[in-house]
Structure 1
Amino acid sequence: MRAGSYSGGMRRRLSVAIALIGEPKLVILDEPTTGMDPITRRHVWDVIEEAKKGRAIILTTHSMEEADILSDRIGIMAKGRLRCIGTSIRLKSRFGTGFITTISFSGDSNGTPNRGDTFNTQHEAVKQFFKSNLDVTPKEENKSFLTFVIPHEKEKLLTKFFEALQEKVKEFGIADIQLGLTTLEEVFLNIVKQAELENAAAEESFATLTLNSGASVQVPIGARFVGVPGTESAENPRGIMVEVYWEQDDAGALCISGHSDEMPIPPHVQLSVSSTPTSGINIFGRRQQIHGIVIDPAQITNSNM
């Protein structure tokens, strides 16, 4: 058969085979399994894994699962720059959001999850246990399991925490406890988000935040805590601030997903004069847009500790 008559996935399989002819010492593969069904993709991964012996293979991919399984060292690029390079475990530890813990619950005599008051009591007991000891809440919740994300800074507490949790397995109706690092997908998204922040800061990009009062504030992309000029009052002499929530759209760009309730700016927070552009009415009688005051998150975090 002519190679041109093959499907896209079959052509890629053929290209991988051609690249390995002659036992080359260096092989470069670009998206080798794109368009393949899961079974075929797994077969090609086995071929590439076997071909790694005695040679160097450089592989580019958008599949974090593929990178995690095949790569000895992983480099992540964003905005045209190499942002990091290292082993999968190293990158997850350095750039991941923390540890993922999944608590599975035992079923009743029919093998189905416990229901009713017992079910609710066990779930609430586990959630309260995590909240009181690690100050975390479930990221995912199901009738059969709870999933928590534990930040890296809580790592020193994990040994004693899981020892205590193990003692309450029967009381909480726990069937299984799983602990692992966050996925490489989350690492990639975190790095891309950081690249977006750097790019926005360099280009001085802004997004429009609409407050509950209806007022619009120009916010530097990625800013977390923002003060609102012109909100000073006898009750709040320093004005008010909000926490801005960000998310990534389908193209990977940051956009505002919402904001917290308005809150007073704490007395200890230092506001940079240079970062407080004035607002008002220009010479044409039009109201200029208000620019928010960026507040260092460390000042807010330290005040809550």
Structure 2
Amino acid sequence: MNQPQNKIVVVTGANAGIGRETARGLAQLGHTVVMVCRNVQAGEVVRQEIVAQTGNQAVDLMKCDLSSQKSIRQFAAGFTAKYPRLDVLINNAANFDHTLKRPTLTEDGAEVIFATNHLGPFLLTNLLLETLKASAPARVLTVASKGLMTYPFLSIEFDNLAGQKKFSTQHTYYHSKMAQVMFTFDLAERLQGTGVTVNCIRVTNVQIDKGRYEYITGWKRWAYEIKRSKAITPAQMAAAYIQLAVVPEFEAVTGKYFDEHCKEVKAYKPAYDRAVWKRLWAVSAEMTHVA
């Protein structure tokens, strides 16, 4: 890996899992890392751990709940007031809460999984776009899931964005991830010529903290144990995030979909429907009050 220049990198969901290992790896390389966490107590424990392990004092922690538009706007205002530039935005935070049996609405009236996984990154990215453009060359990295392969015909269900017609955690999660893939492709085209690149990485089977499925019983728990035993580590997945975020060879690459090896892969056909991109952008902008 060629050593890139020092960058200011925002990582959402940085207190656990892949986000934590991404923050750690970036700090180890000497970058300025802004950990964006909903739980600042847990985030501060991780921040101190990373500083102690890497010796990098330029590891910051800022609060943001990606399901709350008010929180996102407060974070964006605080970040731009504090930092002179933004080189990389990694939209890692996600909600895949298996305990949800019915749609749960946020304070903004959006279904919480769709809000956290799509509307939140959409709003955050748009609020930071001018800073990214002024910092060019800059990069945005969004995150999807290899699990989308189980939904090869899935597109955006505009009549079911709040889970009002049908709801399951799994379906809603992958629906939100398809929205992120489309957002990536659309934004990459919108930003052509600005020096800001936008790419998406699909997360493969990654070991999750056991505490995240302690409540699951029976065959589902057994299935998770088997899945975990065959999974790569969060640090291994984070290594791909880091390459796409800071390695010079990816500086001019945009509008691509990558796997855990940083190899370009194809998304499923519905992801390339430009008419759906445009409608998704319009609906997302209306729901987040983006001009």
Higher RCO (CA 8 Å, separation ≥ 6 residues): 2
- More strand as a share of residues: 1
TM-score, reference length from structure 1:
0.21
